[in-house]
Amino acid sequence: MAMVEAVEMMAGRFRGCMVGALMGDCLGAPFEGEPRATRSILQSYFRRLSDPDLKVPYKQYTDDTAMTRCVAQSLIEKKGFDAKDMARRFVKEYYAEPKRGYGSNVTDVFAALRATKFRDPYSPAAFQFNGRGSYGNGAAMRVAPVALFCYATKAGLVDTSRDTALITHANRLGYNGAVLQCLAIYEALHTPTNKLDSVKFIESLITKMKEIEKPSEDDILYEGEDPYVYVKRLEKVLELMERGDSVSREQVEDELGVYISAHMSVPTAIYSFIRATSPVADIESENEYQRTLHFAISLGGDTDTIASMAGSIAGAYYGVTKIPGNLQKHCEASSDAIKQADDLFSLSDPKPPAS
């Protein structure tokens, strides 16, 4: 493949990742926390939105995207990870638009960061939940720009994703969920289109998570705490994959979870991406990206977040050209997602200084 073509294709994957995440959030949000939507409700939802003549107000993004935008903008402007800058952006964003559906406890972190004037940007998160830290999926849901940034600049992905997570999520499950989601996007970016080997994809994540979840000398585990939660959940993903299209939504909910906690949503998002690479019996869409969102939303529970995380992986793999424009145009601020993707991409190609 010609060099220029390869570069353009990768730029399209960056866009796919950012737009893919945004759309999962916008399109999944109306179903968050509602009883699982029926087959016919979701079918007409996607059909209606795909009608090129439909004119309706934008589907608004929620906290997932509000925070993703902060992560991206901080990395772009600072050309690297700067904890104080990122924390400041989260807090400014939250106080400017607090009604974006934030998790109920993370707002205490924002208040404490503001009150302490960002003196130690990691400290407030560490005091959440009686010093155990949050295991919510709020750090995983916003990590997509980190995967793109590290792909572009070759910065350390594990450390960067963990550090961005720690500003709000100090529980091992909270930040390791973000690391796993980041690795999944990174892996998708690296996989040539049509060359995905799903089993190898998951096995490679398992190998990496074995290393990441290995307790360090600073990790003092609680009595009975299992350090390898993500490894086990990814093994469960492999097991569900073997059972193919016969696995029901109820089984996914029981075995992987569809909840607001990172360990019960990140593996579910990864599974949604894999499951939607093949046709799903009761989903009519032949477009794999759309099928990913549709499947993720059809699981119920934390629909905006699971669809957003699955959508960012799928978008990174299929690229923006696979994302249906008729759906994209209903999502708030998709041009911003494209701009941020392009800015992150251009970090990989430093322009020579003007003479």
Number of residues that bind Mg ion (CB under 5 A): 7
> By rule CB under 6 A, what count of residues binds ligand R7I?
23
Closest CA to 90 of 174, 167, 158: 167
Rounded CA separation 189/56 (Å): 33
- Binding marks (x or -) toward ligand R7I, 96..115, rule CB under 6 A? -----xxxxxx---------
Q: Where are the alpha helices (DSSP H) in the chain?
A: 3-28, 39-50, 63-78, 83-96, 106-115, 123-126, 128-131, 144-153, 157-166, 172-190, 198-213, 229-242, 249-255, 266-275, 288-298, 303-318, 325-328, 334-346
Q: What angle do CA 226, 230, 236 make, to 5 degrees?
A: 105
In the complex with ligand R7I, which residue's Cβ is closer, 30 or 103?
Answer: 103
Q: How far apart are CA 337 and CA 23, in angstroms?
A: 10
Q: Which of the residues 162 through 201 are near ligand R7I (CB under 6 A)?
A: 171
- Least gap, CB of 133 to ligand R7I (angstroms): 7
Per-residue binder mask for ligand R7I (CB under 6 A), 235-274, x = binder: -------------------------xx-------------
Q: Does 343 engage in binding with Mg ion (CB under 5 A)? A: no
Tokens representing 343 are 């800015």
* Closer residue to ligand R7I, CB minimum distance, 54 or 111: 111
Measured from the CB of residue 306, what is the shortest distance to ligand R7I in angstroms? Answer: 8
Q: Which residues pair with 136 in a beta bridge?
A: 261
Quick one: what does residue 132 bind among Mg ion, ligand R7I, none, with the CB cut-off 5 to 8 Å set by partner type?
Answer: ligand R7I
Tell me how far apart the alpha carbons of residues 294 and 84 are, in angstroms, rounded to a whole number.
37
Q: How far is the CB of 88 from Mg ion (least distance, A)?
A: 21
63 binds ligand R7I (CB under 6 A): yes
Task: Give min distance, CB of 263 to Mg ion, in A.
Answer: 15
Least distance (Å) between residue 102 CB and ligand R7I: 6
Enter the DSSP assignment of 37.
P
Q: Tell whether residue 302 is a contact of Mg ion (CB under 5 A).
A: yes
Q: Which of Mg ion, ligand R7I, none does 129 bind, CB closer than 5 to 8 A by kind?
A: ligand R7I
Binder among 14, 18, 24, 62 for ligand R7I (CB under 6 A): 62
Amino acid at 295: F
Asked if 63 interacts with Mg ion (CB under 5 A), we say yes
Maximal C-alpha separation, the chain: 62
Closest CA to 17 of 136, 188, 154, 214: 188
User: Rule CB under 5 A: which residues touch Mg ion?
Assistant: 62-64, 101, 302, 304-305
User: Rule CB under 6 A: which residues touch ligand R7I?
Assistant: 62-64, 101-106, 129, 132, 134-138, 141, 171, 260-261, 302, 304-305
